[in-house]
Amino acid sequence: MRGSGKVAFGGYSGQAYSPAGDKGRFVLPPLFRKAVKDSSDGRVLCLMKHPTWNCLVGFGLSRKPELEAQLDREEELAARLGKEYDRDTRSSQLFGFQELPFDDSGRFVMPEHLRALGKIEDGLYFQGGGRFFTLWNPEELAQMGDDWAGAKAACDSFLADTKAKSAKGGGK
């Protein structure tokens, strides 16, 4: 039954790869597309720069209340520790994401400033992360440490498959 229109959101998991398309478009892979739709009650992808890694972070609109709760927790912790807390600055950091529409096929246009921040070039590797997923330039992912061995292996496999398909089809 769909009564409330709300779908229980189960988080983001899995891996995928999407080569850059024409006109600066990328495709949100089906696995992630469904999860974002479930999380956003529609086709809205939220993207921002990861705070420490050279990649982007993606999620759906359902994360907004979670970010508000995070602000409350951080402010409470700072007060308990007697530390300064600039809620406005932190709020700007957490809510500085861009809301991007995507079509039924998952195509979306990534703004140039996000491409530059994530060092995105010819394609995107998607890595599930539970509450969010990361979008990587494969070259940036390759520079990560051994903790990322599984993601690197998956990315390498996707890149090899993409290269083989391109070679079979004569390339574009």
> Residue 104: what are its φ and ψ, rounded to 5°?
-60, -25
DSSP one-letter code for 68: H
Residue 9 has pLDDT above 80, yes or no: no
Percent of the chain with pLDDT over 70: 92
Start-to-end Cα distance in the chain: 45
pLDDT tens digits for 115-129? Answer: 999 999 989 999 999
Given this model, what pLDDT does residue 6 score?
53
**pLDDT for 44-103, tens place per residue?**
999 999 999 999 999 999 888 888 999 999 999 999 999 999 999 999 988 989 999 999
pLDDT at site 18: 92
Q: How far is CA 48 from CA 55, 66, 121, in A?
A: 9, 16, 16
Domains of the chain, first to last: 15-60+98-165 (3.40.1550.20)
Write down the pLDDT at residue 48: 95
Please check whether residue 56 is in contact with residue 120, taking contact to mean a CB–CB distance below 8 angstroms.
yes
What's 111-141 look like in SS3? CHHHHHHCCCCCEEEEEECECCEEEECHHHH
- pLDDT digit string (tens) for 141-164? 999 999 999 999 999 999 999 888
